Amino acid sequence: MAFVQVAIVFSVAFIVTYCAVPLSRRIAVALGAIDQPGYRRVNRGPVPRCGGIALYLGLCAAFLASYIGLVFFDWQLNDLYTLSGINYIGLFLGISAMFAVGLVDDVTQLPPKLKFLGQVVSACIVAASGVSIGMVHTMFAQAGGYVSLGWLDFPLTVAYLVVFVNITNLIDGLDGLAAGIVAIACSSLLFLVWQRGSVTMALVCLAVIGVCLAFLRYNFFPASVFMGDCGSHLLGLMVGVISVSGVVRAQGFVVMLVPLVIAGVPVLDTMSAVVRRLRNHERIDHADFGHIHHRLMRAGLSQKRSVALLWLCSACLAVAGCLIGSFSGPVQIGIIALLAVALFVIIWYFGLFKPVLRHHYDNKGRSGPRLPHSQGKQVK
């Protein structure tokens, strides 16, 4: 991959996004897609929330630049096995459909079930285009050490993509947080896909990094525009597509977890949110103040420091993910063990899964039937 190709794709993505953000703000205002200050909002004034339009235009421009370079300037996009059999028109339609679902939600606030259905349909289009896990490496396989997932391939791929869409959507709670985490995640994925011989996926990583960095100019605290669901859906799907096509496909079971480690902050936040809401007998999509960024701000950190800390954690997890994907045997196991210990300390320190253990703490030292949390405090 020539330096000229890298520079062109990154520059086009960055410049187009940077110039399109003011346009996306005007569109948001015209459509009435404005985030007003509220009890769960950290913004102190009304902020347009369709910044994802600029992200989408930046990615489209980068993809168009790559296509022009491939057709008219003889760019060599050499891929080993990662992108065989992909219909790029279908893939683009699936990505556009996911962006459209988020955009409609930004404007009309779709019902959760309808929104989830739109996510699944969009992910199905992407999976049908040829983006799939395919097969995995296992010691129990016979020929060549690989085993096909068979009929499980399609639903697992769709679930994988939808998970990345929603964890990106949930972490988008502070100015610049989601864009920064996605840029960090794609930087580490860039290393992994380049290591695995996928020039095309490397250019896609560069395009995503470019649009995220350009968007941060307007989205970092104090943000003048939010990416909205159209932006978080788009970026989450892009991370999922890169993960499946460039890292997970035809790899070992352990390597399949690497993208989840790289996206560890939003993954951990999403897991704790699901457990917390189920424990409280609430819908999974019910909004609350229990996210990691909310806890950091309640601990006294400002928005900027909370975002910087979460970026640092994401960078550390990204490095750990790259190391897990680069080594095997005892070294890989040792890295995973250290990572597990570190995650346990973080979970314990921030009390991310405290609702699960609440019945234990509330009834500690007492006999008889277990009491709910509110009643337990009244018992002497």
Instruction: Check residue 194 and give its pLDDT.
Output: 84
Instruction: Check residue 93 and give its pLDDT.
Output: 96
- Report whether 273 contacts 290 (CB < 8 A): yes
Domain regions of the chain by residue span: 3-253
Point out the annotated binding site for Mg(2+): 169, 229
Point out the annotated binding site: 169, 229
Radius of gyration, CA atoms only, the chain: 22
Instruction: Check residue 364 and give its pLDDT.
Output: 46
Instruction: Check residue 90 and give its pLDDT.
Output: 94
d(CA 230, CA 241) in angstroms, rounded, equals: 16
Instruction: Check residue 359 and give its pLDDT.
Output: 42
Instruction: Check residue 34 and give its pLDDT.
Output: 87
Instruction: Check residue 217 and give its pLDDT.
Output: 93
Instruction: Check residue 316 and give its pLDDT.
Output: 84
The enclosing H or E element of 34 equals: strand 34-35
Closest to 201 measured CA to CA, from 321, 94, 80: 80
DSSP 245: I
Closest to 227 measured CA to CA, from 374, 47, 86: 47
Pick out the chain residues at pLDDT < 50. 137-144, 250, 253, 355-380
Tens-digit pLDDT profile for residues 112-135? 899 999 999 999 999 999 888 765
d(CA 294, CA 308) in angstroms, rounded, equals: 14
pTM given for the model: 0.81
Instruction: Check residue 374 and give its pLDDT.
Output: 43
Closest to 64 measured CA to CA, from 39, 30, 97, 88: 88
Tens-digit pLDDT profile for residues 155-184? 989 998 998 998 888 887 778 888 998 999
Instruction: Check residue 356 and give its pLDDT.
Output: 43
Instruction: Check residue 214 and give its pLDDT.
Output: 97
d(CA 273, CA 253) in angstroms, rounded, equals: 26
Instruction: Check residue 261 and give its pLDDT.
Output: 73
